[in-house]
Structure 1
Amino acid sequence: MTSLEGQHHRPFNRQDGKTLGLAALGGALEFYDFVVFVFFTRILGELFFPPGTEPWLAQLQVYGIFAAGYLARPLGGIVMAHFGDRGGRKRMFTLSVLLMAVPTLLIGLLPTYAQIGLLAPLLLLLLRIVQGVAVGGEVPGAWVFVAEHVPPRHVGFACASLTAGLTAGILIGSLLAAWINTALTPAQVAGGGWRLPFLLGGAFGLFAVFLRRWLQETPVFVEMRARRQLAEGLPVRQALAGHAGAVLRSMLASWLLTAAIVVGVLLTPNLVQSSFGLPPALAFQGGSVATAALIFGCLAAGWAVDRFGAPATLLVGSLALAAAIYALYLPLAGGDASGFIARYALVGFCIGVVGAVPALMIAAFPPAVRFSGVSFSYNVAYALFGALTPPLVAYLSTHLGKTAPAHYVAFACGVGVLVALLSMRRG
């Protein structure tokens, strides 16, 4: 029996639990570092651009800096995946969290425009790009890392646990931002309170780097290296040339993931205020509850993947999410806001269908090009659809009315159903 065959038949053990725990913790801290930026865009716009700049223009500029992080993701993902397929998963897994922690810490220490002039926004942009490079390698790298550590029959739960950890990072960032803006006056926040979440994130990120030193290289990569089966040349080129169908399915599945997260988690709290007149406190309370429910939805999806397969889980989850998003938006369009938080929590839980997506992508690529295949598909699709979704939803709203966000998510769920059926046929 080879070591990989032994890996296939062994039970889930304590070391697997430790690996998943450390990976999820690091992922949560890294995603916290990446998203906390968006919760302080208003104050960053005021502090890092010339006094007298129109508020809308300063906000647009700082959102542009935020978007730069997303645009840098494909570059970071492809480069880090290349070295992950050639030199080892663990090195890139540790490097990604370091590349996130250091810029986050430095953002918390940055001088403002009043102190160093135009250099302030330029440095902020540079640090945001480095963050984008880091998260581009972290998410697919983490999925591959945990999937190759656990027995194959537990890959669904492993990937879903990691995704739940990333979601927890978003929740932590939103709760901390809410606490700072509640506990401090606007003057105190502008005077330095805004630095606290970045300093904390950087410090905790460096701690995550230390924790990841205790992780071991994946058994799959160790076996490939021993057998001299590592990819030669450019792994991403091999993935595109030899596994075009897998790349296409993975990109379409990432579209569903992007639509669910961007519309369901990030945009809905603002949309229900502007379109349906819900109070801000109620809207953001619902968003926090939905994000917490998403964590449990991911874990449920992981459990289902290990028992029924990723395609079947994606199929059922896509249909459930389509029904849930309409159950949230249609009553609001009819003037009924009762039960908003409960319905939004149901949407959050059903967004847990994204917990099936990484397992589907992991299975689509052979180990030699797995990191590069998953990273290219996920990051390119996420950058493309992540950038297009907000303006596209705004455009659709002018033609389809206030329920346009639900129609968009439902369409993406149809794409998820298509991917599930194609994967079933392939399997």
Structure 2
Amino acid sequence: MTHLVDPLIKHRNLNTHDYKTLALSSLGGALEFYDFIIFVFFSLVIGHLFFPPDMPEWLSQIQTFGIFAAGYIIRPFGGIVMAHFGDLLGRKKMFTLSILLMALPTLLIGLLPTYATIGYAAPILLLLMRLCQGLAVGGEVPGAWTFVAEHVPKNRIGVACGILTSGLSLGILFGSLISMLINTLFIGEAMTSWGWRIPFFIGGIFGFLAMYLRRWLKETPVFIEMQQQKSNEKNKQLPVLSVLKNYLPQALLSMLLTWILSAGIMVVILMTPIYLQKQFDFSAIESSQSNTLAIIGLIISCTVYGALADKFPIGKVLIYGCIIAVVTITCFYFSLENYRHFLFITYPLAGLGIGVVGAFAYFMVKAFPTNIRYSGVSFSFNMAYAIAGGITPLLLSVFTDFFNKLAPAFYVISLFSLGAIIGVMLLLSSNNYFAKDM
């Protein structure tokens, strides 16, 4: 591609249209992480209601997390299909479809009958809803990153992707606040009878609202010009096959970065409130309040690191950012036993530290050319997230309970150390991993 349209070649600041695109693009990712956190926070209630009452609590929890993991395992298939048509037919069409397919199952989970009503059909229906969600979310976050990267000016791709990643964190914050509110208002019978359903109703309504608002989005100018240039050409190869054949190193690096991202957000942010209560006897209020501060820190630093990616080589940003993450994560986890009164300092600092993940999307969207960008980002992100996102909660729960309660710390520290190594490699490569049209 020799001549790209204005939004990708002009150096300018983000304007009102860019911020509107960012806001509307963030809604789907926010819904995904909202759905994650309410499922985890209400997993005890769900396990109690959707499995036989005489089943041991640990077994019902494992099966509940297994159903949850199924949504992650199937997401690569949904991501590949949606990205394929997104590269061929347009980003906006698949972008709108994905949020519809996310919102509907979320709403239906809130309407599902329980084991007491329909027996084993209850967990089967719950599994089916999770699979539908997994198919949809496979195209959502990669689609959002691709969409905004092709809308904003070239010199603002980093901050745009950082803001978008911050938007995902807003979904976590919203889910955390809703969960706290529901747990405060509904106790005992009120919770098990219908209180647990309310967060899923809210998520479904939120999703349909987001889908309605997205009708104001326009197709990316980069995709439109690409279609005009190849209007007389036939697409001879599936986009995902082109990714594997011609951009395998970029895909592997993107998968590793996704693995690190999943560890930072899933372990440090999403799983930690329950971890603090079970392993270190913090109260639910202390855990929730400190977690809220950590999420706010993550939101701020994702944007900051995205902006830094626009100013400095991405390798350098990863090196310093991941080292800072290792230091703050170490301080947080290893202070919980003997310096627990520092929780409201160390946990927010850990949230700030892992915000380097806000710069990861900058590399992913620049690693693949326009004609396969959606497929490249989607394949890499979803394959890694399916494995890491699906098995991490279960494995860390087992290792923490039976081997070492600091297992989450060692896991996350190791991965962010890997991030620094990737940064060194990218710094030495002099941007050889970037596509020529980016």
For 1:190-209, list aligned pairs within 5 A. Answer: 190-209=192-211
The 3 A distance-change label for structure 1 pair 338 and 362 is same
Aligned to 1:354: 357
SS in 1 for 2:138: helix
**Paired residues of 1:69 and 1:131 also in contact (CA < 8 A):** yes
Closer, same or farther: CA 385–231 of 1 in aligned 2, 3 Å: farther
Residue 5 of structure 1: how far off its partner (Å):
4.7
Letter matched to residue 9 of structure 1: K
The change in CA–CA distance for 1:274 and 1:110 in structure 2 (over 3 A counts) is closer
1:267 Cα shift? Answer: 2.7
1:130 aligns with one of 116, 129, 132: 132
1:115-157 Cα offsets, whole Å, 9 max, x none, are: 2222221111101111111111101111101111100111111
Amino acid at match of 1:4: V
Shift of 1:346: 0.5
Deviation for aligned residue 1:214: 0.8
Which residue of the partner structure matches residue 97 of structure 2?
95
| Equivalent position of 2:376 in the other structure | 373
What residue is the counterpart of 2:436 in the other structure? Answer: none
Paired with 2:410 and 2:113, the residues of 1 have a C-alpha distance of 44
The structural deviation recorded for 1:25 is: 2.9
The aligned runs of 1:207-356 (5 Å cut-off) are 207-228=209-230, 232-333=236-337, 335-356=338-359
Conserved 8 A contact 1:34-1:131: no
Please report the RMSD computed on the Cα atoms of aligned residues, expressed in angstroms.
Answer: 2.1
Distance 2:40 2:181 in 1: 15
Alignment map for 1:378-417 (pairs within 5 Å): 378-390=381-393, 392-393=395-396, 401-417=404-420
**Contact residue 33 and residue 101 of structure 1 kept, 8 A:** no
**Distance in 2 between residues matched to 1:30 and 1:264, nearest whole Å:** 17
Matching residue of 2:434: none
Please point out which of 177, 185, 188 is paired with 2:187: 185
Partner of 2:217: helix, strand, or coil?
coil
Alignment correspondent of 2:85: 83
Equivalent position SS for 1:213: helix
Distance 1:293 1:316 in 2: 17
Deviation at 1:398, TM superposition (A): 8.4
Offset of 1:396 from its aligned partner? 6.1
- What is the DSSP-based 3-state SS (H/G/I as helix, E as strand, rest coil) of the residue aligned with 2:408? helix
AA aligned opposite 2:352: F
CA contact (8 A) 2:72 2:387 kept: no
- Against the structure 1 CA distance between its residues 283 and 21, is the aligned structure 2 distance closer, same or farther, given a 3 Å change threshold? same
Conserved? CA contact 1:263–1:405, under 8 Å: yes
Unaligned 5+ residue runs, structure 1? none
Q: CA deviation at 1:104?
A: 0.8
Could you say if the C-alpha distance between residues 397 and 168 of structure 1 is closer, same or farther in structure 2, counting changes exceeding 3 Å?
same
Q: Is the 8 A contact 1:85 1:230 kept in 2?
A: no
**1:32–1:173 Cα contact (<8 Å) kept:** yes
8 Å CA contact 1:23–1:142 kept in 2: the answer is: yes
Inter-CA distance 119–401: structure 2 relative to 1 (3 Å threshold): closer
User: Deviation per CA, 1:143-195, whole angstroms, max 9, x where unpaired?
Assistant: 10111110011111111111111111111111111111111222111121111
Cα distance change of structure 1 residues 176 and 395 upon mapping to structure 2, 3 Å threshold: closer
Q: 1:230 & 1:89 partners in 2: Cα distance?
A: 19
Query: 2:118 matched to 1:116?
Result: yes
Q: Structure 1 residues 49-58 or 286-295, which shifts more? A: 49-58
Matched, 1:45 2:58: no
Q: Give me the whole-angstrom Cα distance separating, in 2, the residues matched to 1:158 and 1:392.
A: 34
Gap change, CA 1:398 and 1:64, over 3 Å in 2:
closer
Long gaps (5+) in structure 2: 432-438
1:331 partner letter: S
Q: What percentage of aligned pairs have identical amino acids?
A: 48
Q: Quote the Cα distance in structure 1 between the aligned partners of 2:270 and 2:409.
A: 14
Q: 1:345 aligns to what SS in structure 2?
A: helix
Return the TM-score normalized by structure 2: 0.92
Q: State the Cα distance separating 1:401 from its structure 2 match.
A: 4.4
Residue 21 in structure 1 maps to residue 23 in structure 2: yes
Give the Cα–Cα distance (whole angstroms) in 1 for the partners of residues 219 and 406 of structure 2: 47
Q: For 2:348, give the aligned amino acid.
A: A
Identify which range, 195-204 or 317-326, moves more after superposition.
195-204
Distance 1:122-1:151 versus aligned 2 partners, 3 A rule: same
Structure 1's 323 and 399: CA in aligned 2 closer, same or farther, altered over 3 A? Answer: farther
Measure, in 1, the Cα distance between the counterparts of 2:366 and 2:3: 20
The AA in structure 1 aligned to 2:385 is Y
Match of 2:64 in 1: 62
